Structure 1
Amino acid sequence: MQCPVRPYWTVPYQLKDCLKSQPLFRIFAKAGYNVALVARNADSLEKLAEEIQGTGGEPFLELTAEEIQESVNTNIIAAFAFAREAITLFKGLELDDKGKRGTLLFTGATASLRGNTTTSAIAAGKFGVRALSQSLAKEFGKENIHVAHAIIDGGILTGRARSYVPQEKLENPDALLNPESIGNSYLYLVNQDRSAWTWELDLRPAHEKW
């Protein structure tokens, strides 16, 4: 989230693992931003993230209604609540030097664009966030509020990744997304002026299969 006066970069908890690295925080701090981390329920999100990373998802017939609801709550409901507060704030701001009142960035994943054999739950939530971001971009662009959606299509080189990703892949600069590079891309979106806004940006390492 970006504001023209004393700006803040607010990080939804879903990004905590990929955005907690010092290089990425330094990018926004150097640009004059204060960084804040928000969460709906940190414990449940941490558990969900670990399950997804550990198993790659669950077969549809093994899913429960509660797991589907958790994906909806974590992705769609949380994004809706955060966006509502951010946009309400932005509407009261003056235009900055780039002709915008604020920037609202959503983060998606491969599952935002396509489902797979064991991604029923996560894909349902990610599809919803993507649709929400597109709707908000169209509705509030006319009020000079920039809404963008970034798809992180690939593994990220984080501390957690080092615990389960093969060493060969960890040492291959073409195989994983660098958190600092993600941060630079986010800052690029925030710095766009009103004559050329991006709604969706997809990021992946050079050798990612897609």
Structure 2
Amino acid sequence: MAESVLIVGAGQGLSASLARLCTQEGMSVALAARNMDKLGDLAVETNASLHKCDAADSDDVAKLFTQLDATIGTPDLVIYNPSARLRGGIADLDPSATLDALKITCFGAFLVAQQAAKRMQARGSGSIFFTGASAGVKAFPYSSVFAMGKFGLRALAQSLARELHPQNIHIGHFIIDGSIQSSATIDDPDHTRLDPDEIARTYIEFHRQHRSVWAWEIELRPWVETF
């Protein structure tokens, strides 16, 4: 039976590369996002199902997985991509906007992981991957909100790896340390930016790891990026 993947927070760039590669790998693809207007062409290209979902809303996330139960079933791979940036000095940050950003970057990951994990536990297998950032291991000035969200995301992944690896559920946290090349990016012959197709390839290689050598985290950065 063909594998399936759910990509939450789908859009262009990395999500599109993931969807295309998973399709090439023979996987059924489901794309979930708050705004689905931007996903029509990608859905046609990858024969993916589209699902409107606010990842920070528990009811929306529960509904998403219930929909999948009736179609592709429990995904073999779930990828959580959403994040929210809110820049500003600590004295000026709006508390309400801060909470909204944390819900998207971190709390939504918990909601998606919870729904995925309980289904994967019942089946006895699966992979849950989280797209992190350099902000998850080093916090920059005027970026406290993004750092809190990404630090929390990394902590969630680390905790789940220790809990779920013994249950045959593979957890992955991907620290994307650098800017990702996009169609809007100028030509980059020296590969100074992260190639989204190559990032996607790493996700699939991670998913295919033999469980005797499961990793839970990897850092990806261009060869010119500083540590």
Give me the TM-score of the superposition, normalised by structure 1. 0.79
2:180–2:193 CA contact under 8 A, matched in 1: yes
Distance 2:98 2:221 in 1: 27
1:72 to 99, 102, 111: 102
Q: Alpha-carbon deviation of 1:142?
A: 1.1
The alpha-carbon distance between structure 1 residues 172 and 207, as it changes in their structure 2 partners (threshold 3 A), is farther
Q: Alpha-carbon deviation of 1:172?
A: 4.2
Q: Which has the higher helix share?
A: 1
1:148 to 168, 172, 175: 172
Q: Alpha-carbon deviation of 1:17?
A: 3.6
Does 2:159 correspond to 1:135?
yes
Does 2:28 correspond to 1:34?
yes
Q: For residue 195 of structure 1, give the secondary structure of its aligned residue in structure 2.
A: helix
Residue matched to 1:19: 14
Q: For residue 11 of structure 1, give the secondary structure of its aligned residue in structure 2.
A: strand
Distance 2:27 2:190 in 1: 29
2:206 to 186, 189, 195: 189
Distance 2:143 2:123 in 1: 40
1:112–1:123 CA contact under 8 A, matched in 2: yes
The residue identity in structure 1 corresponding to 2:11 is K
Distance 1:93 1:84 in 2: 14
Q: For residue 60 of structure 1, give the secondary structure of its aligned residue in structure 2.
A: coil
Length, aligned pairs only: 181
Q: Alpha-carbon deviation of 1:124?
A: 0.5
User: Unmatched 5+ residue regions in structure 2?
Assistant: 34-52, 56-82
What is the alpha-carbon root mean square deviation over aligned residues? 2.0
Q: For residue 91 of structure 2, give the secondary structure of its aligned residue in structure 1.
A: helix
1:58–1:119 CA contact under 8 A, matched in 2: yes
Residue matched to 2:190: 173
Residue matched to 2:222: 205
Q: Alpha-carbon deviation of 1:171?
A: 2.4
Distance 1:133 1:174 in 2: 29
1:130–1:149 CA contact under 8 A, matched in 2: yes
Residue matched to 1:120: 144
Residue matched to 2:6: 10
Q: Alpha-carbon deviation of 1:18?
A: 2.8
Residue matched to 1:88: 118
Distance 2:188 2:213 in 1: 36
Note the alpha carbon deviations across 1:55-90, whole angstroms, 9 max, x for none.
Answer: x83222221101220122102210111001111111
Distance 2:118 2:110 in 1: 12
2:7–2:15 CA contact under 8 A, matched in 1: no
Distance 1:172 1:61 in 2: 42
The residue identity in structure 2 corresponding to 1:10 is L
The alpha-carbon distance between structure 1 residues 57 and 19, as it changes in their structure 2 partners (threshold 3 A), is same
Note the alpha carbon deviations across 1:128-178, whole angstroms, 9 max, x for none.
Answer: 01001110110111111111101111100113x53xxxx4xx424331100
